Structure 1
Amino acid sequence: MTKQCPSADTLVGRIARFDQLKVVASQAGHGLPQDVADLIWARKLLPVITRADAVGGPFGAKAPIVGAGDMSITYAVTPPGTGPTLHAHRKTFETFTVMRGRFEFSVGDEGEEKMVLEPLDVVSVPPGVHRSFKNVSDEEGVLQVIITGGVHDQDDVYFPATTTAHIAEKDPKYLDYFKSIGLHFE
């Protein structure tokens, strides 16, 4: 194998600076009440790396680094006490590393299994497993979220009937909005 030694100038296009990351398009200007949006997303989803075939997708359009094999990386930023409700990815593994804060992860059809992760702890959730997370620290929390395998977009995200009912209670139009951007509800 031929050795490669790219110059720093060559790697500039493969650097993502945290303070320059942009939230995913579906989180910008959605007009939803914050408590409704918080059921679905971390407060800020900041794409870092996307697959080359996902550039036009909801996460890829904002990622500064394109193409790193079959992997995408996003930072999930959450204020204390917040985090998305139960959902599952049908085709992808979702691996979380706590970068800042402490997070309670719940897994199972009703979120019945719970664990708290500290900074630099990692959990990898296989396809089809319902999961949620909540920042249980007193500071803004940051998770590094790595998606591998399958489809890397919102079309792979499914919410259980409990989440569907919770959103519909607030107003069915919110459920219609989330469906219109490619999310699935049981």
Structure 2
Amino acid sequence: MIHSSRELNGRVARFDRLDAIEAQSGCELPLHVCDLIWSRRLLPVITLGGSADGPFGKKAPINGAGGLSMTYAVCPSGTGPSLHAHRHTYETFTVMRGRFEFSAGETGDEKVVLEPLDVVSVEPGVYRAFKNVSDEVGVLQVLITGGEHNEKDIYFPASTAKQISDCDPKYLEYFEKRGLRFEEASD
């Protein structure tokens, strides 16, 4: 419970003071390869708290909010991560700035464009991707709820693995060593 202004301020996140997730801070791969996996900048706002390791790490201004993880995904025009899915968690997006095209389904053929303050919620097990289709830097609020919140919950289709491998097989190894999971290609 909040009993003082100090405690209240301890539950405040200021956008201009947010730091990118740890995995992005140390990534030395070419930007176009990193863009296949992450939004250009993922800025955690709320993490699970305690010792729980959420998909965006443990570092955020607010820790613990009833099983909710929240981050801002910042994407320059024309960028956004490729298809991926969450095994057990829902991922809900609100467009804060810009316009975003969301793709869903096994090959990303189902598409919808969202404007500022529009929301889409994607169920567990459904592949999704998004791309900023505006001329400005876009920002999404991303909420993760339900299930187990960690990087093991996220997986990528074989097509994403191939895109990365086509750039350089070492890049795929880089992501796999960091715990990202890729589906096997079916022959």
Contact 2:90 2:123 in 1 (8 A): yes
Matched, 1:66 2:63: yes
Aligned-pair CA distance for 1:33: 0.1
Contact 2:91 2:122 in 1 (8 A): yes
Q: What is the CA RMSD across the aligned residues, in angstroms?
A: 1.4
Give 1:139's aligned residue: 136
Contact 2:35 2:79 in 1 (8 A): yes
Deviates more, 1:120-129 or 1:51-60: 51-60
Deviates more, 1:108-117 or 1:58-67: 58-67
Aligned-pair CA distance for 1:42: 0.1
Aligned-pair CA distance for 1:60: 3.5
Figure out how many residues of one structure are paired with residues of the other and give that number: 183
Matched, 1:23 2:20: yes
Give 2:72's aligned residue: 75
Give 2:48's aligned residue: 51
Q: Deviations over 1:130-184 (max 9, x none)?
A: 0000000000000000000112221111110111111111111111111111110
| Equivalent of 1:37 in 20, 25, 34 | 34
Q: Deviations over 1:79-108 (max 9, x none)?
A: 000000000000100000000000000000
Distance 1:81 1:68 in 2: 32
The percentage of counterpart residues that share the same residue type is 64
TM-score under structure 1 length normalisation: 0.94
Give 1:87's aligned residue: 84
Aligned-pair CA distance for 1:58: 5.9
> What amino acid is the match of 1:125?
V
| Equivalent of 1:163 in 160, 164, 168 | 160
Distance 1:61 1:5 in 2: 22
Matched, 1:101 2:126: no
Distance 1:67 1:26, change over 3 A: same
Gaps of 5+ in 2: none
| Partner-residue secondary structure (3-state), 1:114 | strand
Aligned-pair CA distance for 1:53: 4.2
Gaps of 5+ in 1: none
| Partner-residue secondary structure (3-state), 1:110 | coil
TM-score under structure 2 length normalisation: 0.94
